[in-house]
Structure formats: structure tokens, C-alpha cells
Amino acid sequence: MLFINAGIGGFASVADASEAMWDQIVGINLRGCFFAAQKALPHLADGGAIVVTGSIGSVMALPGNAVYAASKAGLRAVVRVLAAELLPRRIRVNMVSPGPTETPIINRNLDMPPEAVDDLRRTMIANIPMGRMGEADEIAKAVLFLASSDASFITGAELFVDGGVVDL
């Protein structure tokens, strides 16, 4: 099993996004994940599984999020193509796409005082149908499911673990 869980974010309008920002975000989120999968292929046993971390940001039209969304949407396309290419080896390839999740990174937003982080958290929770942020272990359980034999007939899929943000 291979779990590819890398990514960074950054907000800028399309008018304000720089080439450096594009290169950094797309370089890590798309290029880095693509080549991590490529380099791992010779080491994966037939019948294995690859799970890639995506994001609900790839399907939501959130202003200021175009670069991040593009990187994760591109990664979604890679997952689908890789799933098709690895069918002969019976290697399943799927994506887990978290929504707002309570992790330490929310407290490390650049240039945001603690009260702004609290406001951001409240805003996110207000937009989650389940009325709370996800927990890291909930995302991990979804990854473990997709990697397990319980998901033996699932490949090329994207599982949203987002409290209903995308689907409700």
C-alpha cells in the first residue's frame, strides 16, 4: 500500500496569483505526488493499493483558491488515469478528499492572529452540514478502508470525507 499525503495551500485571486505561487503549489501538490507514485510503482506488489489525498477544494468554487483547486483537480485526473493503467497489475488507486479538518495546520495560518483563526474555524463549521470539523482519525479511517480488502472492488474513486460539504 502506498499513501500519498502531501500538499500545501495558499490563497490569491486569479488576478493576484504569481507564477512563483503557482510553481510552488502545483509543484508540491501535483508534480510531487505524481512522481512519488511513479517512483513507487516498481516497489508495489501486484494486487496492492494506492491512496492519494485530494481535497474538497478541487470541486468548490472558493474565491482565491484557483491555484490550489487546480493542483488538486489535476491530481484527481492523475488518480483516474493511474487507476486505469494499473488494472493489469490489480493495483487499486483511489483518492480521499477531506473537508475542514481539525489539525495543527489551522493554527499556523500565515499572518493570522489567533482571533482570526477562531473566526475562520467558526466560518468553516457554519458551512459544514454536520456542524463540526472533521478529525484526523476520521480521515485516516477512510484511507485505511480504501487501502483494505474491504474496498477490493473500488478503484478510480474519490471519497469525500467532509461532513456533507460537497454532497449536501
Structural domain contains residue 32: yes
* CATH number reported for the structural domain that contains residue 30 in this entry: 3.40.50.720
Question: For residue 152, what is its C-alpha cell?
Answer: 477490493
Q: What is the pTM of this model?
A: 0.93
Q: Which of 4, 68, 76, 146 is catalytic?
A: 68
Mean pLDDT throughout 72-80? 98
Residues of the domain holding 18: 2-161
Report how many domains make up the chain.
1
Compute CA distances 98 → 21, 74, 142, whole Å.
23, 16, 10
**Residue percentage of the chain with pLDDT more than 90:** 83
- The C-alpha atoms of residue 152 and residue 118 are separated, in whole angstroms, by 41
The question of whether 68 is a catalytic residue gets the answer yes
Structural domain contains residue 87: yes
The 10s digit of each residue's pLDDT in 90-145 is 999 999 999 999 987 776 655 678 888 888 889 999 999 999 999 999 999 999 99
